[in-house]
Structure formats: C-alpha cells, structure tokens
Amino acid sequence: MTSATADRREAGSPGGPPAEPAAGRGAGQGTGQGAEQTAAERVWGNLRSLVLEHNERRKEVADALGMSFFRVKALRRIAKHPEQPYRMSELAAELACDRPYLTLVVDDLEERGLVRRTPHPEDRRAKIVSATAAGLAAAARANAILGTPPPALLALPPDDLAVLDRITAGLASYPQES
C-alpha cells in the first residue's frame, strides 16, 4: 500500500483525523454552500467508499446464488411482498428496465424454479410473477449477505454506533427527491 493510500484510509477511518478537502477546494469553495457543503461532501464520499468500495456485496451475492446481481435484484423485489404478485409491467418500471429484458430475466428465474409466472386474473393480456418457496429462500439468503455489516462498523464503540444509528435513521427518513 502506498503512503498516499494509507493516508487516505487513515483520514477516512473512524477515529482518524478528518479527511482533507479536495485539492483546490477549501472551506467555502466548491458548490458555493460553504464549509457545511464541504463537510457533507466528505461524509458522502466516506459513506460511498465504505459501502461501494470497501464492502461491495453484489459480487458476493451473485456468486452465492449463481446469477447476475440484476437477477438477484429482480428476485428480491418479487419476494419482498409474497402475498402480492407483481405485474410484469410494474416490475419493469420499478427496476428501470425495458420489458423485453425483464422477460428474459424472469424466464431465467422461472427456469431455476425461483418464480412462477401466471396470467393476471382480471386482465388476460397481463402476466403476474410471484416467488416460489425456493425463490423466497434465495431472496432471504441474498438479503442476509447484503445485510451483514462491514467489519469497520462492527468495530465501532457502542456509543459511536448509537450516534451513527441516530444520524443514519434521520437521513433515511428524510424526504426523497422526485
């Protein structure tokens, strides 16, 4: 590991010194929001790094289930409400993919025995998809892997973890942008 990498890791680690602003962007520079924006950018960068770079679990889930992460994502969405099957069109919209591609994904999940596709009871032109027992188990396995906290989080002292819990709960409840 280079000394620059070690410095970045130390600067972004819990209990380490605060990360320095990006080169050429001191407090009050950047987006015009002042020091708070710079701190928010640092926090966001550290959160993204923690989740997306140091603890990326999508490959682990894909390997464990033997399918692409997009298929896992579709299965998890279908399994989320087992009592309420999805219309294929609704699922495509939620997953932000086109319908022909979703049909291929659902075909594969169906061949694996993870979902079942049936005609909609009120609209014969539409199909609905629901998770099978095997699909619910696979989705639960994926959720368990994705829900495992990273070692850095588990290593935090209880007081720090309580503060972070309060802060992230507040962030998660903040109204989403449309």
Of 7 and 99, more confident: 99
Of 129 and 31, more confident: 129
Kindly compute the dihedral angle of the four CA atoms of residues 73, 75, 77, 80, in this order, to the nearest 10 degrees.
Answer: -130
Contact assessment for residue 90 and residue 96, using Cβ atoms and an 8 Å cutoff = no
pTM of whole model > 0.85? no
Q: Which tens digit of pLDDT belongs to each residue from 168-178?
A: 999 989 887 75
Contact assessment for residue 67 and residue 112, using Cβ atoms and an 8 Å cutoff = yes
Work out the end-to-end distance of the chain between its first and last CA atoms, rounded to an integer number of angstroms. 41
